Structure 1
Amino acid sequence: MNVLLKDKTVVVTGAGAGIGLGIVRQCIMAGANVIGIERDENRLVRIEAEGARGVHGDVGDAEAFPSLLQRLWENRGPIHGLVNNAGITIEKPLEEMSLEEMELLWRVNQRSVLLSVQALAPLMSGNGGGSVVNIASNHARASGTGYEAYAGTKGAIVAMSRAMAWSYGRQGIRVNALCPGLTMTEAVADAARDPALAARFRAWHANQRVNTVDEIGQAAAFLLSDAASAFTGADLIADQGMSSRLGDI
């Protein structure tokens, strides 16, 4: 175990599966006390199994979510690190996307980041600062058909992170965006059982393999830690070269 986050308290949203669970695990391994927020109550046991505290919460609830963060600070704080990982994907042609789907993407992916930082940044600044990692996507850099609304929310996260870095930098708060590419979550692993799809996934990447959730977790733990003290307002792309290639993949 490394000690990059020893004695730090870190909150991770969307913590019960996939990348979120990888972030929880790697922060625990780095010595942090981790609180994982998860909307699906059935997944809380997975967070607890990693040695973290699982808390039920919905980042899409504009009133309950900020209140939850404030209660966590009061009861479990101070909070030194925040990872805004919760997010959803809706892939469909733009002309078929409903207003409700657009608004859902905005509420969960984008507004939740604004609300969490609005709630915690003043508290962090009064406690000597902290670190925020906003999980975006390589879709903020290179996207495709059917991802207009989703990519828009992820591009917004990168832009908001840059602005937040300047808003809170003098208060000792670093804010960075982490942009994963295709990652071997449960859903991707299920799809990769098809040999043709697995080969296609490999071909998209410079080194012929897909990210693991723990690799993204390690990157998030690094950005949270003092080892990343030079990083703020950055967007770290972790996609095995996927978005650096020109042309069709």
Structure 2
Amino acid sequence: MSFDLQLQGKRALVTGGTKGVGAAVVHALWDAGVRVMATARSAPVHPVDGVLYVAADVSTAEGAAEVAQAVLSQWGGVDILVNVVGGSSAPGGGFAALDDAQWFKELNQNLMPAVRLDRALLPAMLAQGSGVIVHVSSIQRLLPLPESTTAYAAAKAALSTYSKALSKEVTPKGVRVLSVAPGWIETDAAIALVERVAAQAGTDAEVGKRIIMQSLGGIPLGRPAKPQEVADLISFLVSPRAGSISGAEYLIDGGTVPTI
């Protein structure tokens, strides 16, 4: 039995597409025969031949508009939109360390890029009566770390709720909307974090990794997920193979979240 994802020739936009999960999604979709446009604040060091890159900051309204215009002028629209961009630079220290500027920065980085790009690109999807949108959320919406991720977790929770509401509105019109909530992913940034934690504890990287996993309450699988594993899940979800799936959120966390 062939497991062709049936994505040949589809048009996809991937935000945050030059590093980590976003870069893995770009590679996975391109390998599946998708025409891919990726966006990030700067061009990749090692671009994928054939992938179109737009350098823009989609945490701003101007950057999101620039990306949407590039998509519409190049292709007239997309069949697949994967909103990967996100992250946090909020300081530790709990609620008192988060002023209005920090809150707005987290919302602009983790919620508003999806809202703005969906609003710009959904009309063309609705006009063609088909399309798939995936929002990358986080298990932090379920397991916030009050010392450091309160604003990030709240923004991701908002993204998940927005995703569900959008799915209820547009699924009857032919556009599927889903969200994917990763746990700890072994990106370059995660590896750097392991090294910092290990250095602070005066130990090696393997122990540093265990310290981080313990801070999350443990990962039953015993390791973080790899970006490619998240990309494989997203590639399936945007394919016709998942044609009856909409309005759902998929955790990919090695069992970190202890409840159903």
Separation of aligned partners in 2, 1:128 and 1:26: 25
- Tell whether the 8 Å contact from 1:88 to 1:109 is kept in structure 2 after alignment: yes
* Gapped regions of structure 1 (runs ≥ 5): none
**3-state SS of the aligned residue for 2:224?**
coil
Q: CA deviation at 1:202?
A: 5.5
CA shift in 2, pair 1:91/1:213, >3 Å? farther
Separation of aligned partners in 1, 2:52 and 2:228: 19
Q: What is the aligned partner in structure 2 of residue 56 from structure 1? A: 55
- Tell whether the 8 Å contact from 2:25 to 2:228 is kept in structure 1 after alignment: yes
Q: What is the aligned partner in structure 2 of residue 220 from structure 1? A: 234
Mapping of residues 51-90 of structure 1, within 5 Å: 51-89=50-88, 90=90
Bigger-Rg structure (1/2):
2
AA partner of residue 224 (structure 1): V
Tell me if 1:195 matches 2:206: yes
Q: CA deviation at 1:130?
A: 0.2
Mapping of residues 1-40 of structure 1, within 5 Å: 2-40=4-42
Separation of aligned partners in 2, 1:24 and 1:163: 26
CA shift in 2, pair 1:98/1:50, >3 Å? farther
Q: CA deviation at 1:245?
A: 6.1
CA shift in 2, pair 1:245/1:168, >3 Å? closer
CA shift in 2, pair 1:94/1:202, >3 Å? closer
- Tell whether the 8 Å contact from 1:174 to 1:232 is kept in structure 2 after alignment: yes
- Tell whether the 8 Å contact from 1:18 to 1:186 is kept in structure 2 after alignment: yes
- Deviating more after overlay: 121-130 vs 186-195: 186-195
- Tell whether the 8 Å contact from 1:3 to 1:31 is kept in structure 2 after alignment: no
What does the per-residue CA deviation read over 1:53-97, in whole Å, with 9 as the maximum and x for residues that have no partner? Answer: 111111122134134313312312431000111112135222012
AA partner of residue 221 (structure 1): S
Separation of aligned partners in 1, 2:31 and 2:175: 23
- Tell whether the 8 Å contact from 2:77 to 2:121 is kept in structure 1 after alignment: no
AA partner of residue 174 (structure 2): G
Separation of aligned partners in 1, 2:152 and 2:213: 23
Separation of aligned partners in 2, 1:91 and 1:178: 25
Separation of aligned partners in 1, 2:91 and 2:31: 34
Count the aligned residue pairs: 243
CA shift in 2, pair 1:139/1:78, >3 Å? same
**3-state SS of the aligned residue for 2:246?**
coil
Q: CA deviation at 1:217?
A: 0.6
**3-state SS of the aligned residue for 1:243?**
coil
Mapping of residues 95-174 of structure 1, within 5 Å: 95-145=96-146, 146-174=148-176
Separation of aligned partners in 2, 1:213 and 1:50: 20
AA partner of residue 28 (structure 1): W
**3-state SS of the aligned residue for 1:49?**
coil
TM superposition score normalised by structure 1? 0.91
Q: Percent identity?
A: 24
**3-state SS of the aligned residue for 2:61?**
coil
Q: CA deviation at 1:20?
A: 0.7
